Amino acid sequence: MKNLKMSIAAMLLLTLSFANGQEKEKMNHDHATMKMDHSKMMNMNNDAKAEVILTDYLSLKEALVADNTKKAAEAGSKLVASFKAFDRTAYTGEEQMELIEIIADATEHAEHIVKSELDHQREHFKVLSKDMTDMVAITGTDKKLYEQFCPMYDGGTAWLSMNEDIKNPYYGSKMLTCGKVQKEIN
């Protein structure tokens, strides 16, 4: 009888672990088809869709400054959507190639931010910030931006902000004012 009970217990456990595995499986990676258009060569200085991306990035930054995982995740999913809506046809062939790579990378980081804990969100935000800086270098922006730098986080890490005052998204309340402005954009 004891053996029988043990085997029942074992089977129940197996069933449970299986159910758990299935649940975690849900993840949708959407690879949009990429088309390029070399005919249009005009480079706009105010790209409204790039501005939306930047705004979403900045609200993500605010959420991280406030140590707010949930808000960061919300901003992350907005960002995924605004990357998807981005229209690169107005840029040159070379710029488009670059933008495709930047957005592919940045989208992945934004997706991870949606489903991660705070410390992981910050790890992804680091690389996302690099992507955003490179994107802005191509698209330009009508916003006045400050590239800020914290020497302590992960061997030195930068981010973008609209305020000159330092509010550190990597440490939040733990070390809110760690960092300095290293560059002004516009």
Partner 1 sequence: MKAVKIIAIVLLVAFVGIQFMPVERNQSDGVPKTDFMLVNDVPSDIKNKLQVSCYDCHSNNTQYPWYNKVQPVAWFLEGHIKEGKAELNFNEWDSLSSRRKASKLRSIIKQIESGEMPMDSYTLIHKEAAFSEAEKQELIQWVERLKDSI
Binding stretches for partner 1 (CB under 8 A): 1, 4-5, 7-8, 11-12, 14-15, 17-18, 21-22, 24-25, 27, 29, 101-102, 104-105, 108-109, 123, 127, 131
- Closer by beta carbon to partner 1, 133 or else 181: 133
Query: What minimum distance in Å lies between the beta carbon of 24 and partner 1?
Result: 7
- How many angstroms separate the CA atoms of 145 and 128, rounded? 16
- Closer by beta carbon to partner 1, 11 or else 44: 11
Query: What minimum distance in Å lies between the beta carbon of 7 and partner 1?
Result: 7
Query: What minimum distance in Å lies between the beta carbon of 114 and partner 1?
Result: 14
Query: What minimum distance in Å lies between the beta carbon of 149 and partner 1?
Result: 18
- Closer by beta carbon to partner 1, 127 or else 185: 127
Check if the beta carbon of residue 106 is closer than 8 Å to that of residue 144.
Answer: no
Tokens of 73: 């995740």
- Closer by beta carbon to partner 1, 12 or else 162: 12
- How many angstroms separate the CA atoms of 61 and 171, rounded? 11
Q: Minimal CA–CA distance to 111: which of 124, 98, 126?
A: 124
- How many angstroms separate the CA atoms of 88 and 162, rounded? 24
- Closer by beta carbon to partner 1, 75 or else 135: 135
Query: What minimum distance in Å lies between the beta carbon of 90 and partner 1?
Result: 21
Strand ranges for the chain from DSSP E: 145-150, 157-161, 180-185
Residue 161, classified by CB atoms within 10 Å of its CB into exposed (0-12), middle (13-18) or buried (19+), is: buried
